Amino acid sequence: MRETLIVIGLVVFAVGLRSAHTACIRKLGALVFLLASFCLLYFLTGSLLWGYTGVLLWFFLPWIELLTRIRRMRLPVNNRLTQKPIPNSKFFPNAPEATVAMEEAGFEHVSDCGWEWDGMHQFFRIFWHPEERAVAAVCLCEQSDVAFSFITITSRDCSGRSWRTTNFPFAPTLRCPPEMEWNHVPCRCNCFHQILRDHREYLARTRIPVEQLRIPDPEAIEEIIEEEMRKQLDHNLATGIIRLTDDGYFQYSMRGLFFLWGQFVKDMVRFC
């Protein structure tokens, strides 16, 4: 009974730590979960080896999905954005608030569009601001019964480099090309005004003069998004993360599966 209560206490303690707002405390919660797994198998078997196995199992769980669904995925190389109706706000969390905040900040609506990636639907509400020299979007990703939304703000300089601030809640599933810089803010930060302030501070830290930032062309924003995706795919093809199939699609290589495994582990530890 004592061992059972220890494991239950560790799990409850870990859940409490993972619900904290501080990143360090949430990471401590992940370590407590690992300790609970160690104690569970150690108390059941009396073997330290099985205890360590209980810890390692957490890190190898992603391979179940990697070797089944993701290994079979075939994604289009030349994907195109198409005009889409706005999803029901009940399934598009924070979208109405983000839209209102963007308009309050002086951003103007450009388009509602999206694309599909082997069963995953992505929807974008795109805005632009000539004085901020930025493009903002509130995005919805939906796959099966799982959906999440996030915000991005992007500025581009005269050399073609992109500077993006986002509260995207997961580690990227593809490597970013050298000309694309990301500034991740915590996913719990879903206030557009705060993300815009973070983006301004990010540009100030990188010491990019405002006059070197391009004023976005609202007519070309969708084309630029498609071009950025193709550049990212070309970069990942060159690094061996993905490989082409014979019919205009791509899939993850074995090196890409190990890359995704590393990203999954980051998400397990980081949890936003």
Q: Please report, for the chain, the start and end positions of each structural domain, with discontinuous segments joined by +.
A: 2-60, 85-249
Cβ-based neighbour number of residue 200 at 10 Å: 15
pTM of the model: 0.83
Question: What is the rounded average pLDDT for all residues in the chain?
Answer: 88
Tokens of 151: 């915000």
Tokens of 194: 């705060």
Segments in the chain below pLDDT 50: none
Contact between 12 and 37 under an 8 Å Cβ cutoff? The reply is no
d(CA 267, CA 106): 34
Tell me, what's the pLDDT at 24?
77
Tell me, what's the pLDDT at 271?
57
List all residues 6 or more positions away from 253 whose beta carbon is below 8 Å from its beta carbon: 240, 241, 242, 243
Q: Over the stretch 233-258, which tens digit does the pLDDT of each residue have?
A: 999 999 999 999 888 899 999 999 99
Tell me, what's the pLDDT at 119?
79
d(CA 66, CA 69): 6
Tokens of 110: 């450009």
Burial track 56-67 (b if 16+ CB lie within 10 A, e otherwise): eeeeeebbeebe
Instruction: Fill in the amino acid letter for 47.
Output: S
Look at the block and give the residue holding tokens 């030349």.
78
